[in-house]
Structures are given as structure tokens and as C-alpha cells.
Amino acid sequence: MMPDHFIGDALRMELPAIGYNLSQRLAALWPTKALLEGMDGSFNVEGYAHEGHCALVERPTPHSQRLAHYLGTEHRPLYRAQQTLFEATWQGHSLHVLVMHWSDNMSAPYHFYIAADSLRVAEDFLMAVCAWSMEVRDEVLVFDSGHWHKDPELFAAIKGATLDNLVLRGSLKEDIHGDLDAFFAARETYEEYGVPWKRGVLLVGPPGNGKTHAVKALVNALGQPCLYVKSFRSQGPDEFSIRAVFDRARMAAPCILVLEDLDSLVTPSNRSFFLNELDGFAGNTGILTLATTNHPERLDPAIVDRPSRFDRKYPFDLPAVEERRAYIARWNGSLRPALRLSDAAVDSIAERTDDFSFAYLKELFVSAMMRWITARQREQEQRAMDEVMGEQVDALRAQMVSTVTTYELRPDDTSGYFPAHLGMRYGPAHGGMVFGSIDERDIPL
């Protein structure tokens, strides 16, 4: 008979005693079984069962606690075990699996107990579940709030991003792709000459100029497993998260570890630990660390100036007139005929949009189309897009100037603060910095 209270009794104990008490109770409950205990977050037994690799049945006793996770309006909530006992069937074996969480006031470690007919069966089950969980198949792993999760929407965005629809200066995109592709193909050469097979590449430049799109397109083109870090912040110290990120990357290698907005991820308090994981005693064989930053001046020189950490830095500057013309022409070609600019207007708009980022050029198109559609809905005479777009260039420039007048940073202001609803862009005016009305992260360049 399964006692209904042993989980509750254990959780009321002092922290050091919880795990030991559970071990004692389970050993007494299943005296003929081998008991395997662990606290590795890679043991995602529910995901393993969901994919059909084992059968998992939730026991009615003791009381099962499950937490609901909101995944957005287009998905049903995801329920995950918090304190739950399962009966598992795997490869003809019957197992008991207890999933537990208890907090140490800093984090809520994931604990599990596996009871099987033999220790070998329990170990094999553990290894099968963890190996499946660690494998990055046609998906992308995202690290946020101290945990890994698979993000189908981000993976779909990556699969939709190509180098063909990325506009960069000169041969920049070919140079980056060739460089990174050669790295993954050169393992034997690195090993032959005793050079650690790892790379660090940093994409540098103001917001809205293609870094995010470039990362997605490169991940898509290179075809390697991708691990994406959204934040190191969690209930515990950043060090726990940083170690979890690099441990997972080492297991998934060869892989691409994406650190977007590196200047916001690395802080004075976690910098030393981050550097040790990036370039310390632990080997990072096969890991390509692909990072981006809008503010290289905020990064410690120990990160950007030491070649063994980020050995290549690629600039993503504001587009020159040729890049603007190519971007505008590409946008223009994707529109319905009535919304398209004439060839002469494409050239004119490219000339008139000096200091516009790619993101701001996109806003130019979107806002001009909205004005064109609004006018048509009001049953006004249909206007040519050439005229509407020309007026919108002037309107956006006036908005930029007005915004800078209101929010311009003082030359001696080192706080780095700016209003959260504004997207910061760089340019020759206003001390090299102007503000727009969009955030680069909202624009799929």
C-alpha cells in the first residue's frame, strides 16, 4: 500500500534531511528494488515519454503536484511535475520514478528517484532519458530563468532566415559564413597542430543593422546544433546559470552557442566566472560561441581584446547608400504592384535615408503602407507610393530629431539609461547617437 503522506512528511523536514529521508522511505517501500537517485536537470522523463520512448502513468497516491506553464495564447498550458510519482514502462521493464523539487531559498533543484529490478536497468534508463534530452535535433534550445527549454517558434524563425535575404556591406556575409563553415570542417587540422578546436566570434554594431538576422541565417546555413542564451538570471547566482550553459554546450558539441546582447549578459559580478567558463581549464572543444553586442564599449577589455575568447569581430555598421538601395529594392519587390515604388523612387529614397538603419528602413516601408491604406479606406484618390514614401521619409526624420531633442543623452552621462520604449541608433548627428521608435528585437531583419 502506497502511503499518501511520505512526500509531505519529507518536505516538512530541514533541508539537509529531505533527500536522505526520501531515500530511506523509498528503500523501505520497495525493498526488492534497486534505487538510483539524482538531481540532473537533463532527466526530462516527461518529455521522453511524450515523444513515445516510454510509457509514463501518474500514480494517484501520494498526492501529485503539477505546475502549469503559460506558453502563449496559441498553445494550451504545459503541465510539469513538481512532486509526482510515476509508473514507467520502458523496453519491457517496469520502473517507479519519483520527481521532486524543493527550494534552498536560492533555487529549486530537480531531484529524481528511479526504482528498478536492477541497478543496471535503472542506470540504462537514466542514460537513455538524459541522452535524449541532451540531443539537439531539429530544434533550438533556449536558456532562460535558470532552465533550458525547446522553442519551436524560434526554430521556425531560424529556418526561415537565409543569407540570401540578408543585405550587408560588400562581401561581409560571405566572409562570415565562409569563416564559420571552415571552422566546423577543420577539426582534424586543429588537432594536428595542437590548436584548441573552438572559436569565439563577435558581431558588433548599432541596433537594427542585421546582427539578429545574421545569427539566425548563419545557424540555419551551418546546420549545427544551436543553444541560445536569453539570460543568466535565475533564482540563484548567475554562476549557476553560466555553468549550466557551458556544461550543456560541451555535451552538445560540436554546436553553436549564441549569446545575444553580450553586454547585458555579462556583468561586473559574473564577469570572472564567465571568463573562466569561456576560456578556463574546462575544454570547450567544438563550441562556436557566436555573440552580438550593440555596445562594445560596455564590455570588459578582457572579453573583447583577448584573441582566445573572441578572435574575430565583424562590424555591422549603418548601411551605406548601396546597401540601402539593395534593401529597399528587395522590400519593394515583395509588395503588391500598387504599393511598389518606381525605380527612380528607389534610388531617391536610398539617397535620402542617410543614417537610417535597416530596422528604420523597415519602419519606413511599414508606416508608408499604413498611410497608403488609410487614405484608400477613406475613399480618397489613390496616391502613388512614390509620393507617400517621400513624405514619410520627412516625417520619420522629424520624429527622430524631435525624439533626440527630448531624450538626448548629455556627453557626460555615463548611466547608459534611455527610455525603454525607444530603440537606440547610432549616427554622425547628436554625438553619434540618435533614437528611433522601435526596438531591434521586434524587427526580424
Highest mean pLDDT among 59-73, 229-243, 300-314: 229-243
Q: Are residues 84 and 165 in the same domain?
A: no
Query: What number is the average pLDDT over the span 163-185?
Result: 92
Domain count across the chain: 3
Q: Are residues 123 and 236 in the same domain?
A: no
* Residue that wins the pLDDT comparison between 108 and 339: 339
Q: In this predicted structure, which of 74-88, 228-242, 398-412 has the lowest mean pLDDT?
A: 398-412
DSSP codes, 248-278: HHHHH-SEEEEESSHHHH--TTTHHHHHHHH
Q: Are residues 35 and 128 in the same domain?
A: yes
Q: Are residues 286 and 167 in the same domain?
A: yes
Please count the other Cβ atoms lying within 10 Å of the Cβ belonging to residue 32: 6
Highest mean pLDDT among 2-6, 277-281, 388-392: 388-392
C-alpha cell at 149: 527549454
Q: In this predicted structure, which of 56-60, 94-98, 251-255, 371-375 has the lowest mean pLDDT?
A: 371-375
Residue 431 has pLDDT above 60, yes or no: no
Alpha-carbon gap, residue 325 to 349, rounded angstroms: 8
| Beta pairing partners, 34 | 116
Residue type for position 424? M
Is 231 within a domain?
A: yes
Contact 122, 130 (CB under 8 A): no
Residue 409 has pLDDT above 50, yes or no: no
Please identify, among 135, 150, 180, the residue that sits at the C-terminal boundary of a domain. 135
Cell 562590424, residue located: 315
Is 163 within a domain?
A: yes
Q: Are residues 21 and 146 in the same domain?
A: no
Q: Say what the pLDDT of residue 61 is.
A: 87
Q: Are residues 400 and 429 in the same domain?
A: yes
Going by C-alpha positions, the residue among 312, 158, 300 that lies closest to residue 225 is: 158
Is 69 within a domain?
A: yes
Q: In CATH, what number is assigned to the domain containing residue 21? A: 3.30.310
- Look at the alpha carbons of 231, 235, 239, 245 in this order and tell me if their dihedral is positive or negative: negative
Structural domain range at position 387: 321-442
Is 329 within a domain?
A: yes
Give the mean pLDDT of the chain: 84
Could you list the beta-strand ranges (E) of 145-274.
147-150, 199-204, 226-229, 255-259
Q: Are residues 285 and 165 in the same domain?
A: yes
Q: Are residues 234 and 105 in the same domain?
A: no
Q: Say what the pLDDT of residue 3 is.
A: 67
DSSP codes, 318-368: PP-HHHHHHHHHHHHHTS-GGGPPPHHHHHHHHHHTTT--HHHHHHHHHHH
Q: Say what the pLDDT of residue 379 is.
A: 67
Q: Are residues 287 and 335 in the same domain?
A: no
Query: What number is the average pLDDT over the span 334-350?
Result: 93
Q: In CATH, what number is assigned to the domain containing residue 150? A: 3.40.50.300
Q: Say what the pLDDT of residue 407 is.
A: 41
| pLDDT level of residue 24 (50, 70, 90 thresholds) | very high
Is 1 within a domain?
A: no
Residues with Cβ within 8 Å of residue 134, at least 6 apart in sequence: 42, 248, 251, 252
Q: What backbone phi and psi angles, to 5 degrees, belong to 112?
A: -145, 155
